[in-house]
């Protein structure tokens, strides 16, 4: 069973363990410190996850296994948020990311004024593209060679989902 909850201090050690796995962080933002320390986890739980963001821990059968968040935009883009997520490697292949994204998307649309969620995915990250598609997100376009990490440049595939029946004034 998948549940979403607020991050807590009890998540520190697993955050450190999971975010030091090169396969987990492979396509995540390089703003995530590497190596990832307990101090980094403390900062994220107490400060970083609350800065222009709605962030939840993902649990599978009561065990913390990942993070999902919506990072709000400003000014004329305030109706939109970038969604991001990661799941620890031992939990891959169990549809956890898809289910968490479906739950999280519904919560965001039901509990906030956000009417558009989007996610730019690096071209090699096929698994994440499948998660987005299964969660009802649609490909909006491809940004050519828009992201470079560890010496490699990739196209980004931008997926988005709109709040149902949402009109703009």
Query: Structural domain boundaries of the chain?
Result: 2-117
Q: Which segments in the chain show pLDDT lower than 70?
A: 166-169
Give the three-state DSSP class for 13.
Answer: helix
- pLDDT tens track for 31-76: 999 999 999 999 999 999 988 899 999 999 999 999 999 999 999 9
**Number of helical H runs and strand E runs in the chain:** 5, 7
Distance of CA 28 to the CA centre of its chain: 9
Distance of CA 77 to the CA centre of its chain: 19
What is the distance between the alpha carbons of residues 16 and 24, in angstroms, rounded to a whole number? 12
Fold of 2-117: Aminopeptidase (3.40.630)
Q: In the structure encoding, which two tokens stand for residue 62, read together? A: 């009561």
pTM: 0.94
Give the three-state DSSP class for 8.
Answer: coil
Contact in structure between 115 and 166 (CB atoms under 8 Å)? yes
């Amino acid at each position: 069973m998948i549940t979403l909850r607020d991050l807590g201090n009890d998540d520190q050690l697993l955050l450190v363990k999971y975010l030091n796995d090169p396969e987990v962080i492979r396509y995540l933002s390089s703003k995530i410190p590497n190596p990832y320390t307990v101090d980094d986890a403390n900062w994220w739980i107490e400060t970083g996850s609350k800065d222009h963001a709605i962030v939840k821990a993902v649990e599978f059968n009561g065990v913390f296994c990942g993070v999902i968040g919506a990072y709000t935009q400003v000014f004329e883009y305030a109706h939109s948020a970038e969604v991001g997520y990661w799941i620890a490697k031992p939990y891959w292949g169990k549809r956890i990311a898809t289910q968490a994204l479906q739950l999280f998307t519904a919560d965001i649309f039901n509990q906030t004024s956000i009417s558009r969620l989007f996610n730019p995915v690096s071209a090699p990250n096929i698994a994440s593209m499948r998660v987005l598609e299964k969660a009802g997100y649609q490909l909006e376009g491809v940004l050519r060679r828009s992201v470079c990490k560890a010496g490699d440049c990739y196209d980004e595939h931008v997926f988005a989902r709109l709040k149902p029946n949402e009109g703009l004034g």
